[in-house]
Each structure stands twice: as structure tokens, then as C-alpha cells.
């Protein structure tokens, strides 16, 4: 299986600004932010894309959304946008499932 840049971030082989981690998910700042706050939530279980989700892995996108919701509540972020890019035609460059979290509000520690 081809290793993506997000595999390497998950394995701590390359640095990232991690904002949240638990047994299921890693969240870190996007290196090229397109909003005041631009985070990426990735599952620790690898799936390449929404296009590759199966009945066995269908819980993962919902899990990422719940983690993003919890993060926003804990950080006092009221409004945000969540997006999945799907495949090249959908603007997906990194073939490791990830949820974009964008907000014009700032995380309080920033
Ligand atoms: P996609 O276009 O695949 O949905 O989004 C991939 C995102 O990953 C892009 O917004 C891009 O800026 C971000 N990205 C790519 N390489 C790195 C990296 O090495 N570190 C971090 N933190 N973000 C990255």
C-alpha cells in the first residue's frame, strides 16, 4: 500500500501542528490554511477516500464529524465548515481520508 504524507504524520515521521489526538483520530493544522482556522481530522484506521468507504468502514466519516463537533464545542468555536474532498475531480490531493474543518473563528490557544 502506498504511504501518503498523512501516514507519515500519523507515524510522527514528519512534524505537524497536532491540535487533538485520541485512540481513533488525529487532528492537525493544515499547512496551507484556507481559513483563520483550518484543521484536518484523519482516522487512525486507513481509508483512502469517501469513495472507498465500505459498510465496514462507514462509521469513520461520522466519527470524524463527531470529533470535530466535540473539538469545536471544547474550543468555543461556534461556526465552522466541514468538507470531504472526494477523488481528483473533487479536489482531493492526499489519498488518505480526511475531514477539513474551516472556521473564521480562532482556536483560543492560537
Ligand atoms: P485535499 O486537497 O487532499 O482534500 O487536502 C489535503 C490538504 O492537506 C491540503 O489542504 C494541504 O494543504 C494539506 N497538506 C498537504 N501536505 C501537508 C503536510 O505535509 N502537512 C500538513 N499539515 N498539511 C498538508
The DSSP H or E segment spanning 50 is: none
22, part of any domain? yes
**Portion of the chain with pLDDT greater than 90, in percent:** 95
- Domain span at 95: 5-103
Residue 85 Cβ inside 6 Å of ligand 1? The answer reads yes
98 an active-site residue? Answer: yes
Tell how far the Cα of 109 is from the centroid of ligand 1, in angstroms: 22
Strand stretches in the chain, DSSP E: 18-21, 25-29, 37-43, 81-83, 99-103
71, part of any domain? yes
pTM of the model: 0.97
**Portion of the chain with pLDDT greater than 70, in percent:** 97
108, part of any domain? no
19, part of any domain? yes
109, part of any domain? no
9, part of any domain? yes
Residue 7 Cβ inside 6 Å of ligand 1? The answer reads no
CATH number of the CATH domain containing 98:
3.30.428.10
Mean pLDDT of the chain: 96
Residue 46 Cβ inside 6 Å of ligand 1? The answer reads no
Number of folded domains that form the chain: 1
Confidence of residue 64 (pLDDT cuts 50, 70, 90): very high
Amino acid at each position: 500500500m502506498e504511504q501518503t504524507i498523512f501516514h507519515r504524520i500519523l507515524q510522527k515521521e514528519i512534524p505537524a501542528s497536532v491540535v487533538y489526538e485520541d485512540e481513533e483520530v488525529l487532528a492537525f493544522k493544515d499547512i496551507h490554511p484556507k481559513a483563520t482556522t483550518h484543521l484536518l481530522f484523519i482516522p487512525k484506521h486507513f481509508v483512502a477516500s469517501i469513495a472507498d468507504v465500505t459498510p465496514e468502514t462507514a462509521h469513520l466519516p461520522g466519527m470524524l464529524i463527531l470529533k470535530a463537533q466535540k473539538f469545536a464545542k471544547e474550543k468555543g468555536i461556534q461556526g465552522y465548515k466541514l468538507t470531504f474532498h472526494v477523488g481528483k475531480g473533487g479536489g482531493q490531493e492526499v489519498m488518505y481520508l480526511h475531514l477539513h474543518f474551516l472556521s473564521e473563528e480562532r482556536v483560543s490557544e492560537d
